[in-house]
Amino acid sequence: MNVAKIYYADIANGVGCRTSFFVSGCTHHCKDCFNEVAWDFNYGEPFTEKIADTVIESLKEDYCDGLSLLGGEPMEVVNQKELRPFVERVKREVPKATIWCYSGYTFEELMDPENKRCHSEDTLPMLKNIDVLVDGEFVAAKKDITLEFRGSSNQRIIDVPKTLESGSIVLTKYMRDRIRTD
């Protein structure tokens, strides 16, 4: 897996101050994607233990609320293979850190064992370590710059632990308080 870029002390990709970790590789190719350069799985630099250590250290800072995974597409099967042990390590070593994940796949697609584009043996263990999933492809026709933490109105901000526990989609309180109708 390659890393496209990392932003430390980012306030745009989740609640609070976060480390935003952009992976390379995406097969969605959404029209008007904000990060088209990261579609290429070979873009950026290889994800190394040194990079993982640096990100972990950034999450330990008092001002840092957590990690945001973006892309590219973190939930591409090939990226899950390397991200799963990484998010498990984050949860072990920095339990205060919340993990947000931005994916063009919907929660339902990720949970569908027949969907080989995004479901693998790593998917559920990875989701069990994610606190918030912003799901759904960016849809240019539904672009709305007034939305917080998402680019188009079809995307949802999902409370993953509550969703896994209840068996149905539970939006974060943050989104429920600000939901817009189309």
- Closest of 77, 76, 75 to residue 101, by C-alpha: 75
CA 92 to chain centre: 18
DSSP type of residue 150 = -
Q: Which residue has the tokens 């099967």?
A: 77
Predicted model pTM: 0.92
Q: Give the confidence band of 30 by pLDDT, cuts at 50, 70, 90.
A: confident
Q: What is the pLDDT of residues 35-69, one digit of tens each?
A: 878 889 999 999 999 999 999 999 999 999 999 99
Average pLDDT value over all residues in the chain = 92
Model pLDDT, residue 39? 82
**Phi and psi at residue 4, to the nearest 5°:** -75, -50
Query: Hey, which bits of the chain come out as E strands?
Result: 2-10, 18-23, 45-46, 66-70, 98-103, 132-135, 156-159
Q: Which pairing describes strands 66-70 and 18-23: parallel, antiparallel, or unpaired?
A: parallel
Token code pair at residue 72: 């590219």
